Amino acid sequence: MGTMDFKTDASAVTINLLLIVRPEEAASKEKGQREGQTEGGRGAGSKGDGNGNSRSQPPQGTCLNGRRGPTDPCEQTPPIPAGPDKGTQVTVEIHHEDTSPQLIKRLSLGKGSQRLRGHDNKGFQKTEAPRPPGAKDLHAYPWDKSSLKSMPVDLQQLEKLDAYALKVNVTNSVEELVKALLKQARTDLEKVRAIWMWICHHIEYDVVGYHNKSQLSSKPRDVLQMGKSICEGYAELFEHMCSLAGIQCKKLSGHAKGHGYKTGQTFTGDSDHAWNAVYLEGRWHLLDSTWGSGSVDDSFTKFTHRYNEFYFLTHPALFINNHFPDNSNWQLLKPTLTLKEFENNMLHNSNFYTLGLLAARPDTPIIRTVNGKASVSVDCRSGTLFMFKLKGTDEHGLMTLKRHGMELDIFPQKTGSHKLEIFAKPSKAEAVDDVYKCVLEYVVECESVDKAMRFPKELHQPVGPSWFSERQGFLRPSHSQPIIHTNDGRCSLTFTLSKDISVLTSLHTDSSSSLSEDMGRRHVLQIHRRNQIELKVHLPHAGNFVLKIYSKKKSDPGNYDYIFNYLIRCLNTEVKWPAFPQSYTKWLQDYEILEPLSGLLPANRNVQFKLKMHGVAKVLVQAENTYPLTQNKDCWEGTCNTSGCREVFVMVHENANHSFYSHVLKYEVETQ
């Protein structure tokens, strides 16, 4: 059939054709058109080469996880038999010779009423045939980080329509279902939305049919009656319902990084997934109702309805993360990606974007260590919590939270390939389902191991101060990095406390001389000065240590909450600091030990004491003998001799009228 120019006004076109077609020839031609259409409008039985050509392929369906199975071609009305008073129905396409985007006008020649392609009119408006995508349909690649969708969508305004669509319960015919859905839909967007919501919530993925494809049908009426299908059926039902609603829609096929996808894999052979493009407000948009409806388990035996808004009118620069159409024009991108680029690109699933994440580095799925280390970073819009698993554990990494993302250094302790998963969740996780969700997956190839970067098992991720610790009241940290290096085994950290909180600290290590819980606390000394807190740390020996910091409201009688931790490293094997003196409940938070700081006093020596204390009447140091301290401004000073004793106590007389003393500090004396 030749081409001819036309105006959009039907009355301006006059066509006189005499066609003599035998009924059986008409049927044969229509079947051939169904099974061998080009990419512009092909069925399941052909495969486009990206240039509008087709090559014969066995008819097959597609599924959620990147496998195909047999299916029937798109459902269409069978040819109308010629009768004595009826001409044969022939569809004629009229379009310009150039390839610019345009509407294709379908005319029905012969006697009888005009029919829509694939179904009777039955009160529905005429649907124009899908036009190919053009320049105005294209979006820039890479993503400009502006919106997750390809057009403005106010989800709040659609809530009533969504609720209505979910309640529609019509399964006797596709036509009746569409009529029911359109009762509350006025705009084209609302029509598409109602169809989308209904399919996503009423059609389930057919895991049984996936395993038994000989019994599978993807015809819209069969999908509706069965209430389940594979992706081919989802896409055909969506296309058919949109056509009935007067919306241009096209089923697309291609490769997908779905269920069963392995990081870094290549794609060969037939396409393995189907989805749709829909024409709204003068532009093509992409959606995937299969992935919008839910997910299957790892064994591919159970489907769970779990609505996913992300795949409704997804921005093409994001859709290309896991959907690669057979015809590159349907990427709707400028420039388009090659299959090799699609394979090599990092997979960002829907969780990545719906949690407000923006970018990840590296942007390739396979990372090779350099000197035993691999690094990953993620950018996001606002405070997000992260965690990671390297071969199922978070022991061999160092993750730090940033105000707009996170940074992670990985130190595998074995060579070979390691699966690295990154998880995220909102910082204000109030909903029940706000759990950590996998957002990225890498393969780390480790060629050499850095044994020096073995971390204590007590190290919790993330490490170091962050916006999260600030939110808990720890401001302006003196050490902003997660690792503190000390050569002499001592370090001092300071914070400004923005809240009226009590702080608890403890020190941990994996060495053979592991610290008891009590001794772990006594190697950290707290000093409070108004809203400032200083943490003095004296390490008992060289090695890697974890400094954990807890807090609770002073008015809260409950337990302390874990806030964050540091990694403290000391390589000096000469280091051997004793613990700080043991304090009792009468030692108030704003008291301060100036000397002696060591909790282990030398034997047979005079030891100078200087303690900053307030609100007490007398202070005594009890050794073999009792030594009173003298008040000098806000300090109590004096000397004690350690001869003949194993322990030294500091006691306070809180009220001059009382006769009893309270213990506040305890020191030990070296054995001779």
Positions annotated as catalytic residues are 231, 273, 288
DSSP helix/strand/coil, 653: strand
Token pair, residue 483, equals 């690792």
User: CA 662, CA 648: separation in Å to the nearest integer?
Assistant: 14
CA 411, 414, 419, 423 dihedral sign is negative
Measured at the alpha carbon of residue 263, what is the angle toward residues 262 and 264, in degrees to the nearest 5? 110
> Is residue 216 a contact partner of residue 206, using CB atoms and an 8 Å limit?
yes
User: CA 597, CA 595: separation in Å to the nearest integer?
Assistant: 5
Q: Where are the beta strands (DSSP E) in 281-325?
A: 283-287, 294-296, 303-305, 323-325
User: CA 402, CA 381: separation in Å to the nearest integer?
Assistant: 11
Q: Are strands 647-653 and 618-622 parallel, antiparallel or unpaired?
A: antiparallel
Half-sphere exposure of 1 (CA within 13 A, CB side): 11
Name 550's Cβ contacts closer than 8 Å, sequence gap at least 6: 503, 504, 505, 506, 560, 561, 562, 563
Distance from chain centroid for Cα 579 = 44
Distance from chain centroid for Cα 570 = 37
CB atoms within 10 A of CB 163: 11
User: CA 652, CA 619: separation in Å to the nearest integer?
Assistant: 5
Which residue's entry shows tokens 């190919």?
132
User: CA 573, CA 593: separation in Å to the nearest integer?
Assistant: 28
